[in-house]
Amino acid sequence: MITLKSPREIKEMAKSGAILAGMHRGLRKIIKPGISSWEIELFARKYYKEHDAIAAQIGFEGYKYATCVSINDEICHGFPRKDLILKDGDLLKVDTVVDYHGAMSDSCWSYAVGKSTPEVDKLMAVTKKALYLGIDQAQVGNRLGDIGAAIQHYTEDENGYGDVREFVGHGIGPTMHESPNVPHYGEAGHGLRLRAGMTITIEPMINAGTWKAEMDDPNGWTARTADGSLSCQYEHTLVITDDGPKILTSQDPEFDQKYLLND
């Protein structure tokens, strides 16, 4: 069932999103060659506790961590690991969900570790732009297919990358995963019509090579690119309004100015 959120619920989700965004901004100060990905997990747990929030991923379907920390060819659901030491040129994705007094927010961000490479820089730039192209289609009266088609055309047709099919965005609110599913591929003009008050995530996962994923990791969670190529992801939680899509997990109010809720 799809629920339309009230102004009060949206306001609380924005508070949750601000905490999540603040955690990501804090990560920029600690992510560097030589640290383990477990230090990212510890930072997130500490940050959420200090801000009276709950790391919602812990315990979700048996998952044990506050963050998913995926690196290079890992598409998503990588575990934070004490023995995973970051090095120059790594492409790091940190995905996390925050529960603030019952209001959920979900955001993934990508980071180039230390000295980057042109391949990493381009993949990150294309993936981030794809996210915003998808957000721009999250308009009242549009359809879910409009979001996916915009992302797929830009990433695959214009840039030759692989647009992952196995994982999609979703509704979010009092619970982590709600209806509807939000694919990052598809056909414009098709799918569910979007309405004001819907809160969703858009979270394209874009591979430098094939779009196909391998999901045979012994840990039962981590997905990797089928051809070993790099993978990148960016994700925002947003609300669809009569005034356009409004991002609830913005890390940069200046960059996201037109997407911010009015107080």
The annotation places the binding site at 77, 95, 106, 170, 177, 203, 235
- With contact defined as beta carbons under 8 Å apart, do 233 and 203 qualify? yes
List the binding residues for substrate. Answer: 77, 177
Measured CA to CA, the distance from residue 144 to residue 215 in angstroms comes to: 26
List the binding residues for a divalent metal cation. Answer: 95, 106, 170, 203, 235
Strands 223-225 and 231-233: unpaired
Check residue 151 and give left, alpha or beta (phi > 0: left; psi -120 to 50: alpha).
alpha
Provide φ and ψ at 27, rounded to 5°. Answer: -60, -30
3-state SS class at 85: strand
Burial, 129: exposed, middle or buried (Cβ in 10 Å; 0-12, 13-18, 19+)?
middle
